[in-house]
Amino acid sequence: MIQAIGLTSNPRKELPPAVDDVSFEACGGRVTALLGAPGAGKTTALKLMLELQQGRGITYFRGRPLHRIAHPSREVGVLLGEVPGHPARTVRGQLRMLCAAAGVPVRRADEVLEVVGLAGLRDERLGTLSRGMDRRLGLACALLADPHTLVLDNPADGLSAGEGRWLHGILRAHAAQGGTVLFTTDDPKEAARSADQVVTLEEGRLVADQPVADFARTRLRPRVAVRSPHAARLGALLTKEARTAQRSIEIVREEGNRLSVYGSTCADVGETAFRHGILVHQLADEIGDMGPVATPPAEGDADATGEPRPAETLTANSPPPLPPPIAVRPAPSPLRPLRYELRRATGVGTGYLTAAAVLVTSALLSVLLARIGHTPQPRLLASWPQGLPLPPAALGAGLLGAIAFGEEFRHPALAADRGTVPRRLGLLAAKLLVASATALTLAFLTVGCDLEVLYVVYGRELTGVPADWLSLSASWIGLVVGCAWAGVLAAGIFRSTTAGLAAVLAVPTVVVPLVQKALEGPSVRSAVGFAERLREVVLMQWPFGGERFLAAVVRVVAQPVGGALMLSLTALLCAYLLTTMRSRVR
């Protein structure tokens, strides 16, 4: 069950909080509707419950707050707003990526696609889906890890009447198996038709928490729907009998020989029609104008007209099938975050397009620099003009690193796993590893393409191997990998791809001048000669000539950009770890 206690959002300047001291329960085995007009605070309440928004109060899912649950996506299936995912990713690719994130077998993606009716659209891009298919995919994402609890924000928004009935049938079937279902809606008739308990919000405050029968009786207008070829005569008789019995009823004549009788019951209306020999084609209890109450009777039971309901009619009302339960929960695997990150990175063409743009730009720059002249060969091979803060390969690696987190904050994929992206060290390690591999590949491809283009255009004159190739290679690898890591960490901290790329550009443009100014400014002691003394202390006779590699690493760190990059990475990593600890303590 869900227990929400004292949910209160942070104040909004001079406005009252969007949600103010809301407490309610959603029991297992029942469907609970959170009802309210647009702006009543329903979505804010869900975000507070899922710890996606700052505020006060706490929510227990089967006795535990979300941040105390080891695998949140296995406990809570979430649908908030649009379906999370990059528009260029395929339906099946999105679900397979989430399977790796939740640690469930990859075949689960095909199972839920069959249940929600998207098996034929598994290769479609998310950006091409209609609104109805989009909501079906959102339900598939929520059901993927076989959660006990479903938390859905206006899941029937934009669906047709038939799709809405199908959706609520799925929710009813999940509750029938013992699960907990909480969904929001702004339609009182939908709440009365689909829920067992209705929690009503108005202007951020709880105004009612009622069983659906009490809700329908007190907040909607129950009525009796009658259809008869003698509707006018029946209406007059009902009015006369009510006046004689001193009862207050209201009769509204509608199209098609149909009456809506408010303040009476099916039994009273049926008895009046029987006594006066009036033929009745329809006699049913309704709530508002939503149609008959959608609780099907058992097979063979009589319907509102007294005739037995055929079995084939009941078959259409049977609940839709759910995905089979996940019988065995696999143990946590160190490769699971890596699988997720690989599927995330390779599922869209952003990385490939970025790499192609870097290679083309780098090749053109190298040819242009060779034609102008006065550029050292190492900078020529890296396509790094003196006026450019970083070479194209380093900028591309930083951008791809920033996308690793930034894409997820823009298109949330793991809402049930503690926010848009779980701040777990395993996931961070996977992102850093994939970013390193991508940066190394980009670095080698860039140099290779530049060498090939220079050879084709100018011959062998500019394609010789430098004498100090080892230290230059270490510097080149350290630069591109460091930029990729800076992009990953900064995007994870500031929740934005732009912020991640800005942190990469800030290394040569901001950090390097600040470090140089700090070292060269007036002081009692001077740090001049630090690099040489560091080599003297660290370098010793290593077996197999290892001192050469260590010397190359020390030379990289001693360079202005290398030292500034190391300083920036250290600061970003500490900030990331600090935010991780704060989120876990909270």
Are residues 206 and 175 in contact, defined by beta-carbon separation less than 8 angstroms?
no
Lowest mean pLDDT among 26-30, 352-356, 559-563: 559-563
What is the arithmetic mean of pLDDT over 146-161?
Answer: 90
Q: How confident is the model at residue 302 (pLDDT cuts 50, 70, 90)?
A: very low
Please check the confidence at residue 127 and state whether its pLDDT lies above 60: yes
AA identity, residue 491: A
What does the mean pLDDT of the chain come to? 82
**Predicted confidence band of residue 132 (pLDDT cuts 50, 70, 90):** confident
pLDDT at residue 8, rounded to an integer? 94
Q: What pLDDT, in 10s, does the model give residues 451-481?
A: 999 999 888 877 777 777 777 888 899 899 9
- Confirm if 189 and 25 have CB atoms less than 8 A apart: no
For 14, the 3-state DSSP assignment is coil
The pLDDT value recorded for residue 522 is 58
- What is the rounded distance in angstroms from the CA atom of residue 261 to the CA atom of residue 249? 7
Q: Retrieve residue 40's tokens.
A: 């009543």
Is the pLDDT at 422 greater than 80? The verdict is: no
- Least confident segment among 258-262, 354-358, 527-531: 527-531
Q: What pLDDT sits at residue 475? A: 85
Fold match flag (2-214 vs 221-287)? no
What pLDDT was estimated at residue 523?
Answer: 52
DSSP, residue by residue, 516-561: HHHHHS--SS--TTHHHHHHHHH----GGGHHHHHHHHHHHHHSHH
Give the integer Cα–Cα distance in Å for 110 and 122. Answer: 8
Helix or strand holding residue 565 (H, E): helix 560-585
* Measured distance CA(484)–CA(361) in Å, rounded: 18
- d(C-alpha 70, C-alpha 4), whole Å: 20
Provide the pLDDT confidence category of residue 364 given band limits of 50, 70 and 90. Answer: very high
pLDDT at 270: 92
**Max avg pLDDT among 66-70, 257-261, 483-487:** 483-487
Per residue in 308-352, pLDDT (tens digit) is: 333 333 334 555 678 887 765 554 555 678 888 999 899 989 999
C-alpha 562/C-alpha 475 separation (Å) is 8
User: What percent of the chain stands above pLDDT 90?
Assistant: 42
Report the pLDDT value the prediction gives residue 208, as an integer from 0 to 100.
92
Give the pLDDT score at 441. 96
Q: Is the pLDDT of residue 551 over 50?
A: yes
CA 457 to chain centre: 49
Q: In what order do the strands lie in the sheet with 2-9?
A: 22-26, 2-9, 55-61
Q: Is the pLDDT of residue 202 over 70?
A: yes
Higher pLDDT, 70 or 353: 353
Alpha carbons within 13 A on the beta-carbon side of 523: 9
What pLDDT is attached to residue 389? 87
Is the confidence at residue 179, as pLDDT, over 60?
A: yes
pLDDT at 211 over 90: yes
Rounded Cα–Cα distance for residues 474 and 559 (Å):
12
Q: Which helix (H) or strand (E) holds 199?
A: strand 197-202
Q: What pLDDT shows up at residue 552? A: 54
Q: Which residues contact 240 (CB under 8 A, 6 or more apart)?
A: none
The confidence score (pLDDT) of residue 237 equals 93
* DSSP 8-state code for residue 460: G
Identify which has the larger pLDDT, 227 or 375. Answer: 227
Q: Are residues 106 and 145 in contact, defined by beta-carbon separation less than 8 angstroms?
A: no
Sort residue 525 into left (φ over 0), alpha (ψ -120 to 50) or beta: beta
Nearest in space to 163 (alpha carbons), one of 195, 135, 126: 135
Bridge partner list, 224: 261, 285
Question: Does the predicted model carry a pTM greater than 0.85?
Answer: no
* DSSP reduced 3-state for 35: strand
Among residues 87, 65, 321, 290, the alpha carbon closest in space to that of 185 is found at 290
More confident residue, 302 or 184: 184
Which among 37, 29, 11, 355 is positioned nearest to 191, based on CA atoms? 37
Q: For 2-214, give the CATH class.
A: alpha beta
- Give the alpha-carbon dihedral of 411, 416, 419, 425, to 10 degrees: -100
- Cα 260 versus chain centre, distance: 45
Strand partners, 337: none
CATH class of 221-287: alpha beta
Sorted by where each begins, the domain ranges of the chain are 2-214, 221-287, 336-585
Query: How far apart are the C-alpha atoms of 142 and 18, rounded to whole Å?
Result: 26
Average pLDDT value for residue range 488-513: 89
**What DSSP letter does each residue of 263-299 carry, written as one string?**
S--HHHHHHHHHHTT---SEEEEEETTS-B---PPPT
